[in-house]
Amino acid sequence: ELKVEQNPLFLSMQEGKNYTIYCNYSTTSDRLYWYRQDPGKSLESLFVLLSNGAVKQEGRLMASLDTKARLSTLHITAAVHDLSATYFCAVSGGGSQGNLIFGKGTKLSVKP
Amino acid sequence: DAMVIQNPRYQVTQFGKPVTLSCSQTLNHNVMYWYQQKSSQAPKLLFHYYDKDFNNEADTPDNFQSRRPNTSFCFLDIRSPGLGDAAMYLCATSREGYEQYFGPGTRLTVT
C-alpha cells in the first residue's frame, strides 16, 4: 500500500527565511505532485516531477525529486507572507488511471 | 476559460435529504475523479471514472454514488447526508491518468 508522509505538518516562519518541506513515499511511483491550497479554496498545481533528479523552480519555490530515496523536497527561499497556505504533496498510485495519494499537508504561516 | 466547473459552489442540505453535486469539464479528459476533503485534512479519493468505467474506492460509503452521463459531466449523489459528510468536495479530471486538474470545489454543509 502506497503511503505518503509529509513533514513538518505545521511551519511558522519569518519573512526572509528559508525552509524545506519533506515528502516521503513508501513504494515506487512515476509521478509526484506539489499543490498549494489557500483556506476555503481548491488545489492549485505547483509542480509535477516525473523523473529522478528532477528539479523545478517557480519564484521562491523549488521542488526536487529523488526516486531512489523516495523523497521529494519543496524548498522555500526568502519567504514572504503571500506564501502562507497549506502545501500538499501527492504521489501517483501508478497505472493509467492516476489515482493520487496525498500527504497530510504542511500548513505554512509566514509572519512579518 | 474555466476548465473544470463545479456547481454549486456552496450547498446546504438537511440531514437525510438527498443532494447532488455537479462537475463539468471542457478539457475532453477521459478520467474524472471525486475527492472529499474534510477540514484540515488531505483530499481523499471517493471514486473515479475511466471513460465509462466506474471505480469505487474500497472505503467509500454506500451513501455516495456517482453518474457520468457523458465525457463532459459527472455527478456526485449523496443519498442520505449525515453531519459527518459536511466537507469540501473536489472534482478533478485527467487525460489517461496524467496531471489532474481540479475544479473550485463545492462546500457542503449539513444541518
pLDDT of residue A27: 85
pLDDT of residue B54: 94
State how far residue A51 is from chain B, nearest Cα, in angstroms: 14
Instruction: Report the relative pairing of strands B31-37 and B87-94 from DSSP bridges.
Output: antiparallel
What span, in angstroms and rounded, lies between the C-alpha atoms of A63 and A48? Answer: 9
pLDDT of residue A95: 62
- SS3 percent helix, strand, coil of chain A, rounded to 5, is 5, 55, 40
Tell me: the pLDDT tens digits for B18-55?
Answer: 999 999 999 999 999 999 999 999 999 999 999 999 99
pLDDT of residue A94: 64
> Sorting pLDDT into bands at 50, 70 and 90, what band is B105?
very high
pLDDT of residue A15: 96
Non-local CB neighbours of B32 within 8 Å, separated by 6+ positions: B23, B25, B48, B49, B68, B74, B91, B92, B93
Nearest to A20 by CA among A84, A69, A77: A77
pLDDT of residue A63: 98
What span, in angstroms and rounded, lies between the C-alpha atoms of A63 and A90? Answer: 13
Distance, C-alpha A75 to centroid of its chain: 9
What span, in angstroms and rounded, lies between the C-alpha atoms of B19 and A49? Answer: 37
> Sorting pLDDT into bands at 50, 70 and 90, what band is B99?
confident
Instruction: Please state the φ and ψ torsions of residue A80, each to the nearest 5 degrees.
Output: -125, 160
37-96 in chain B: CB under 8 A from chain A: 40-45, 48, 50, 55, 88, 90, 94, 96
Q: Which helix (H) or strand (E) holds A72?
A: strand A71-76
> Sorting pLDDT into bands at 50, 70 and 90, what band is B4?
very high
pLDDT of residue B75: 98
112 residues of chain A, pLDDT tens digit each: 889 999 999 999 999 999 999 999 998 887 899 999 999 999 999 999 988 889 999 999 999 999 999 999 999 999 999 999 999 999 987 666 778 999 999 999 999 8
CB contact (8 A) between residue A42 and residue B97: no
pLDDT of residue B102: 95
Q: At A13, list the grid cell.
A: 516562519
CB contact (8 A) between residue A42 and residue B55: no
What span, in angstroms and rounded, lies between the C-alpha atoms of A86 and A8? Answer: 11
Chain A interface, Cβ < 8 Å to B: 31, 33, 40-45, 48, 88, 92, 95-100, 102-105, 107
pLDDT of residue A99: 85
Nearest to A90 by CA among B108, B43, B89: B43
Residue among A40, A43, A104 minimizing CB distance to B90: A43
